[in-house]
Every structure is written in C-alpha cells, then in structure tokens.
Amino acid sequence: MSKELASIIIGMLDLGSLYALVGIGFVILYRSTRVINFAQGAFMLLGGDVFYTLLVDWHLAWYLALPISMVVLGIIGALTYLVFFRRLVGADLFVLVIATLGLNIVIVTIATIIWGPDIRSLPEVLSLKPLFSIGNLSVAPLDVFSIGLAAIVIVLLERLLQRTRLGIEMRAVADGPLLAGQIRISVHAISAIAWGIAALCAGAAGAMYSLRVALDPAGIPALGLLAFPALFLGGVDSIRGALVGGFVLALVQNATTFYVGGLWSDVVPYAVLLVVLLVRPRGIFGSREIVRL
C-alpha cells in the first residue's frame, strides 16, 4: 500500500466518522419528527465551544469534558424544540426548513458573540502520533477514539430505534403525530428527545473535530452542512445509510484532495448529491414511501 493511499484511507475513516455522527442526528430527527435540520452544523460549533470551555477554561479532564459537553448539547437541543419548534408541529416542510436555517444563523451568531470569531487550538489530549501501523497505514490514538465513538453511538441508536418502546413511539410520532397523540403518546416529549439526541450527536462531532483540527467558528458549521450529501447518498431515514454515506463521501473528498486539489474537495460532494438525486432520490438505503389514495 502506497503512502498516498494510506493517507486517503485514514482520512476517510476520520472524516467519515464525523459525517456519520452528524448524519445520525439528521436521521434520528427526520425519523421522529420529519424535520430536516439545517442547524446541525451550528450545534457542532456549539458542542466544540462548550467542550473548549470545559477543557481549557474549567480545566476538566477530556474524558469528563466530552460526555458533559454532549449532555449539555442534548439539553440545549431538547430546549430548542420545547421553546421554539413545539409551536411548528404540523407546519409545512418549507416553513420548517426556513426555521432551521434561521436557527443556524442565531446559534452561530450567539456562539461568535460569546466565544469570539477567532480560530482556537485545543491541547493535544489524545496523541496524533502513530499507535500502530499496518504497512504504510499509521493509526493514532485520536483516530481510534473518534472512529470508536462513532461506532458506539451508531450501535446504541440503532438498538434504540429498533428494539425499544421509545424507538417505536418515535416512529409513530413521525408517521402521524395526531394519531400518536390519540393513543396517549406524548408527541412533544418524543420530539424533544429526538432534538436532544440530534444535538448530542452534533456536539460530539464538533468536539472531536476541534481536537483534530481546531475550533473554527466559520469552518465547523460549513462542515456540518457537508454532511447533507452523505445523508442523501445513504438515505435520509436510514442510520445504516448515514454510516455508509458518510464514509463514501469522506473517501471521495480525500481522493479528490490528493488527486485533483483541495479547492475541489467541497465541490465534489454536492456534485455527488446531484447525481444521487437524479438516479436514486431516496438514497442507497432509504425506504420508499407508499401513499394511499
């Protein structure tokens, strides 16, 4: 294996795990509320900022700062629904999309006012030095942790949706909130939980990205939006699709950077998105909706 190919693979695994985390948040929210949340990138930034505060300003150990920041983002996500989006239950898709776009701007603006617009570097709490190597493929502790974290979250959420009563109630609320309310399912509680889980996943991705690169108030929200091509590639209602789409998109981006140039790395994902929408609009693992007339 050449060094170039090894770099593409490890870059795919690192970036793909971040896309998978953000994409899972999209899927959970869509499957529970039918909302496509364009503010996931803003929640990523907020997660990175909270993690930075706990780690640098409050001097907490990283293994405490990370779960606490994830919980904080989960609470913020749930409160966002209860305070703002609870009033929009049953609204048209266009209204919800505009509302999440507005939420994205509000969160990014507030985060910039509180933490400032400067790019900040976090201390190296997990080494980037090779932990082990397979040929030219070198894997660092941070690589192992970020990929492992994404895998654990994916498994837990998949089990949550498929094998628990909460998962069944989430699907019931998505299919028909009015009918779900009539059979005594708390629509607002389920929706708040879904928003909390989506924000928690985005917060974890933001913290992990900040550890690897830097805390960039402009770059992190943009990275969150790049998860959309991965989401539609895999299927907007499939956790498995979010996983596959995230790693495929990361592979395409890293290969593009190496062979064509970094200027094209953000263009190619949206070109892939256009092709997918033309060929298979529901994505690789997306389910076909059946409408009874």
Q: What is the pLDDT of residues 37-67, one digit of tens each?
A: 899 999 999 999 999 999 999 999 999 999 9
Q: Is 190 helix (H, G, I), strand (E, B) or coil?
A: helix
Which of 59, 5, 37, 20 lies closest to 243 in space, CA to CA?
Answer: 20
- Please give the Cα distance from 57 to 60 (Å, whole number): 8
Q: What share of the chain is helix, strand, coil (3-state, %, to 5)?
A: 75, 5, 25
Residues 289 and 286: their CA atoms lie apart, in Å, by 9
Q: State both tokens at 55.
A: 């780690």
The residue with greater pLDDT, 265 or 24, is 24
Helix, strand, or coil (residue 139): strand
* Residue 194 CB neighbours (<10 A): 26
- 3-state SS of 266-291? CCHHHHHHHHHHHHCCCCCCCCCCCC
Query: Mean pLDDT of all residues in the chain?
Result: 84
CB 74 within 8 A of CB 199: yes
Phi, psi of 93 (to 5 degrees): -60, -40
Burial class (CB in 10 A: 0-12, 13-18, 19+), 212: middle
Give per-residue pLDDT as tens, 224-241. Answer: 887 888 787 877 777 778
Q: Where are the domains of the chain?
A: 3-123+139-279
Q: Cβ–Cβ contacts within 10 Å for residue 288, how many?
A: 6
- pLDDT for position 291: 39
Average pLDDT over residues 248-267: 80
Distance CA 221, CA 195 (A): 18
Tell me what pLDDT residue 288 has: 62
Encode burial over 52-85: b for 16+ CB neighbours within 10 A, e otherwise: bbbbeeeebebeebbebbbebbbebbbebbbeeb
**Annotation: CATH topology of 3-123+139-279:** ABC transporter involved in vitamin B12 uptake, BtuC (1.10.3470)
pLDDT higher than threshold 70 for residue 9: yes
Radius of gyration of the chain (CA): 19
From 192, 200, 278, select the one nearest 233 (Cα to Cα): 278
Residue pair 243/234 in contact by the 8 Å Cβ criterion? yes
Provide the angle, in degrees to the nearest 10, between the axes of the packed helices 227-234 and 268-279.
20
pLDDT at 110 over 90: yes
| Residue 120 per-residue DSSP state | B
Kindly report, residue by residue over 138-177, the tens digit of the pLDDT: 778 888 888 888 888 888 888 887 788 888 888 777 767 7
pLDDT-based confidence at residue 293 (cuts at 50, 70, 90):
very low
Reduced to 3 states, what is the DSSP secondary structure of residue 184? coil
Cβ partners under 8 Å of residue 189, min gap 6? none
Return the structure tokens found at 25: 């948040």
